[in-house]
Amino acid sequence: MYPAIEEIVEVFNEKDVHFSVQENDDNNRVIASVVVDYTSFTVYFISSDETNDISVRVPHFVRFKEKERRDMLRIANRMNDKYRFCKFTVNDESEAVTIEYDFAEKTENIGEAVEELFRRLMQIAEEAYPEFMRAIWGKPETAAEPQNLGNIVFHDFEV
């Protein structure tokens, strides 16, 4: 098991976080399932070498249909603006929104840092989930009015 994963396991055991460990040839993973007020999701803490490289992924945080893609992009951008240290990405192939975070390789006390991020991700997910679901189930966002900043006018368009 990679050292960063060992440190995460040690801290998670101390803090009574329920998790499992998966060891592959390519990487090691600590997998924790979370239930918050509105949803449940799985968080993957992935290490692929002997350094403190930890990638955090919450795959399939929200699933959507092609017709909701535009709203998902808009909300993901808004969430990326609000929560600058983690990234919401919209994956067109799997039609899902993913939350991502990558720790700096030189992070000290990686286990403690991961545990703190894990707690913060639960709060972020709890706040962000209703925003995405409003677009899917109830009140899709309407096209924004063009923004006028002097001689520059911004129009909303689909890429």
What's the pLDDT band for 53 if we cut at 50, 70, 90?
A: confident
* Per-residue model confidence as pLDDT tens digits over 106-142: 788 888 999 999 999 989 999 999 999 988 886 655 5
CATH number at residue 81: 3.30.1460.70
Contacts made by residues 27-36, CB under 8 angstroms, sequence distance 24+: 27/2, 28/1, 28/2, 29/5, 30/5, 30/114, 32/118, 34/121, 34/122, 34/125, 36/122, 36/125, 36/126, 36/129
Please give the residue range of the domain that contains residue 65: 3-139
* Residue 150 is assigned to a structural domain of this protein: no
Residues 69-97, mean pLDDT to the nearest whole number: 92
Judge whether residue 146 has pLDDT over 80: no
Q: What predicted TM-score, i.e. pTM, was given to this entire model?
A: 0.79
